[in-house]
A and B are shown apart, each in its own frame.
Chain A
């Protein structure tokens, strides 16, 4: 299954990494990639704030609401799925639909030709993965990419935080792993 390309966006919305692994998508200019990263960052933030807040009713009512409310509407291209929240503190008077999971924004965007999956780390870095729409187990790929990023980018003394990623070992290992998978 095809993994077309990977984009990494830093916590300020800047593009720090863009690499193509398999042909299948049209190439954009560097400037367009920068715009895509910045725009996605903004849209992601907005979709997160869209997440409905449910008034905090007595505990019994809260238990029944969540599951039905979260399912994203399938006819939308942009689906802010799995929007949810951390367990609310005692002072808050509302709760997100799916208690126990932190609120996330846009996670998945699908077209006929590709699927864009977004994974945001706890520190705010976003990984955007362009894959074949039929590809399964994207979480596994995403987890491995995050692991390689933590190893070969964050443990590299020459990498400056929030700056473009130019780590030869990261490229090499990422490409090697993806090639080994197909």
Chain B
């Protein structure tokens, strides 16, 4: 007898908890959208909303669970590669250009990522009082939390799944090198690189995004993408992160200070 009653109570809590404001906000958003639609039908051409609300006025979480057509992304990315290919001197130059296309994206994505992880952690903090102490810090200070941020939340934001592996360089000469592995990068799904360019990996674009995220966090780094095909995963890609001298020095200081 007690069981269903408790269940119902929990349901009602979760309904009136963090969900309600979102639903209300969504309903709020729905109204002007319809309004805009009717407006645009009367005046054809460029769509200018009457209430001066643009895409920038929309809530950032609006597209949180929205899905994108994989084909349209594939065509867009193919055009980006073709564009980057113009007037390049070699494969390295092409990879550098793809990297540069991804870099600003990484810088901007970082803020969105923080915003979303923060808003979700505060809402969970509201619903359960105990989690205030365990809520994640705003920004990673050490290398390892940064790498976990890239491996988990960033990958989930970009590709809807975490990356496949995270490793530290085993060589003692290069303690500043870390590797993130993706078995089948989304950007390379439909791309076959011709034999004469076999060194090229178009995931250099993703490497640029990672570089942007690292720089945005204050970790100077160079990120490159490398092919490492296996029998099972012909498109396996390793992202090599090389942190700068200053980062490694700071890391030592922070380690002594006991900062996590």
Q: Which chain A residues have a beta carbon within 8 Å of chain B's beta carbons?
A: 151-152, 155-159, 166-170, 172
A-B contact pairs, 10 of them (CB 8 A): A151-B190, A155-B71, A156-B78, A157-B191, A158-B194, A167-B192, A169-B189, A169-B192, A170-B192, A172-B234
B149 contacts A by Cβ under 8 Å: no
Determine if B78 and A157 form an interchain contact, defined as CB atoms under 8 angstroms apart. Answer: yes
Whether the Cβ atoms of B194 and A155 lie closer than 8 Å is: no
Interfacial residues of chain B within 86-138, with CB under 8 A of chain A in the complex: none
Is B234 a contact partner of A158 (Cβ separation < 8 A)? no
Contacts of A159 in B (CB 8 A): 192
Number of cross-chain contacts by CB at 8 Å:
42
The contact of A158 among B75, B77, B191, by CB within 8 Å, is: B191
Given contacts A155-B191, A166-B194, 6 further A-B contacts (CB under 8 A): A151-B74, A155-B71, A156-B192, A158-B191, A158-B192, A158-B194
Nearest CB to that of A159 among chain B residues? B192
Q: Is the CB of A156 within 8 A of B234?
A: no
Q: Let me know if A169 and B194 touch, CB within 8 A.
A: no
6 tightest A-B contacts by CB? Answer: A155-B190, A157-B81, A167-B192, A157-B78, A169-B192, A155-B74
Min CB distance B202 to A, Å, is 8
* B3 in the interface (beta carbon within 8 A): no
Q: With the chains together, A167 CA to B75 CA distance in Å?
A: 16
Given the known interface contacts A155-B74, A156-B78, A157-B82, the answer about A168 and B192 at a Cβ–Cβ threshold of 8 Å is: yes
Number of interface residues of B (CB under 8 A): 19
Nearest Cβ distance between residue B199 and chain A, in whole angstroms?
A: 14
Which chain A residues border B82 with CB–CB below 8 Å? 157
CA gap between A98 and B81 in the complex, in Å: 45
Show the binding face of B for A, using Cβ within 8 Å. 71, 74-75, 77-79, 81-82, 85, 189-195, 197, 202, 234
From the candidates A155, A169, A170, A172, name the one contacting B78 in the complex (CB within 8 A).
Answer: A155
Q: Which of A157, A166, A169, A170 has the most CB of B within 10 A?
A: A157
Residues in chain A near residue B79, CB distance under 8 A = 157
B193 touches A155 (CB 8 A): no
List residues of chain B with CB within 8 A of the CB of A169.
189-192
A151 to B188, CA, bound (A): 12
Chain A residue, CB-CB nearest to B190: A155
CA distance A156 to B85 in the complex (A): 13
Determine the residue in chain A with the shortest Cβ distance to B84.
A157
Alpha-carbon distance between A167 and B193 when the two chains are bound, in angstroms: 7
- Assembly CA distance A172 to B188 (angstroms): 14
Q: CA of A129 to CA of B176 in the docked complex: distance in angstroms?
A: 54
Shortest B203–chain A CB gap in Å is: 13
Q: B201: shortest Cβ distance to chain A, in Å?
A: 13
Chain A residue nearest to B191 (CB atoms) is: A156
Q: Give the chain A neighbours of B81 by CB distance below 8 A.
A: 157-158
Contact across chains for B75 and A155 when beta carbons are under 8 A apart: yes
Give min CB distance, B197 to chain A, whole Å: 8
Q: Give the CA-CA distance A151 to B71 in the complex, in Å.
A: 8
Contact B190 A158 (CB under 8 A): no
Partner of A157, one of B71, B85, B189: B85
Closest to A166 in B: B194
Residue with the greatest number of chain B CB neighbours at <10 A, chosen from A151, A158, A168, A172: A158
Chain B residues within 8 Å of A152, by CB:
190, 192
For the complex, give the distance between the alpha carbons of A166 and B197 in Å. Answer: 13
B254 vs chain A, min Cβ distance (A): 43
Please report the C-alpha to C-alpha distance between residue A169 and residue B78 in the assembled complex, in whole angstroms. Answer: 15
Contacts of B71 in A (CB 8 A): 155
**Closest chain A residue to B200 by CB distance?**
A158
Most interface-central of B82, B194, B195 (chain A CB within 10 A): B194
Q: Bound complex: CA of A162 vs CA of B165, how far in Å?
A: 40
Residues on B with C-beta less than 8 A from A167 are 192
CA distance A158 to B190 in the complex (A): 10
A169, B197: Cα distance in complex, Å:
15
Question: Quick one: which of A152, A156, A166 has the most chain B CB within 10 A?
Answer: A156
A92 to B49, CA, bound (A): 47
